[in-house]
Structure 1
């Protein structure tokens, strides 16, 4: 099982990350669905937050994908190149689900600290209607790229391989993995993990995505 691993990117050379984070903050919308939080915002259509029916989800996701890809093409091209080199093969963008998108976590006077997410495994592919019935391979990965400035307690907590979601609620995490701006962090989606608690006044802005093997090919989605 792949534990969280840092992979450097050329983010700083390609983009003005401060301007990028400001734009993403403006574009972001409050998260919806059962995992929503007043502090959590998104750019994109993550399947795990969707409450749409199958065809409605696919239509809404695909409607946003093309504009999102065009606007952030330099970022996506760099990330997919890095992923391909690390995994040893091309990673395709799903044509039937939302493309990797962005989380914005915003602390405020009313919510000065983000208390962390619920320990979970990433099984978002189960929420994508078009993936039902497809041949699913063993490869399952999640990745995060920090775009905002670093902070001591911005990162990921994870539990020992084999720990269940139910057990993790009663146990302390095995380790904390700090995020470094410009480094992609990738890990096995079946590893129980969560967003680590943090109290920074700076918005936490990340690119998020998942990769699964469908019909023999690696496919990225959110």
Structure 2
């Protein structure tokens, strides 16, 4: 797997929703090869997407009524993880989408996987909306960022999922540091999860757990990761 950073320059000002634009910017031979896409970032590293935070408890907050797309910055970037880097793509390309011309520069990114062990404090930073599910619709969306929910796409054994919740114990701060967000995607406001989650590592990590953390760092967590959701950063808390 390869992690790439895609810098783009435009005339700016174009309205866009979530990450649908990002995959359109990539040539078809890469798009079919994408495993995960991050949100769009400003050049100083801030995520850019239409969102409305839910900041109240025990209240019914419905989806926003009006569409509030945001403007594409003149310079920005996003990251993606691909299975193989296509040799047909050069590091600098021009992409024409509609009547817009995008200057794109592609660089490789060295992903640093945090060295997590017993006694560590692990921070999982949600860089954009995260979608976690369990059970059947209509109540399958979850808003509690348990490891068994976040990393469930990589674990098929129910006992192994429960083991993740035993190894990574959530800090009390998670009650305030993670919350619900409405994001605009394909013309509709949809609910997701965002924020920062702190976990205490209370056991030694077996190899399969370290591999799951690596996949989470490279491929994201939760669902719909190829569409730009579930992008996270794993860090140690000092």
> Aligning the two structures, in what range does the TM-score lie when normalised by the shorter sequence?
under 0.3
Structure 1 length-normalised TM: 0.27
When you count strand as a share of all residues, which structure comes out higher? 2
Structure 2 length-normalised TM: 0.26
When you count helix as a share of all residues, which structure comes out higher? 1
- Bigger-Rg structure (1/2): 2
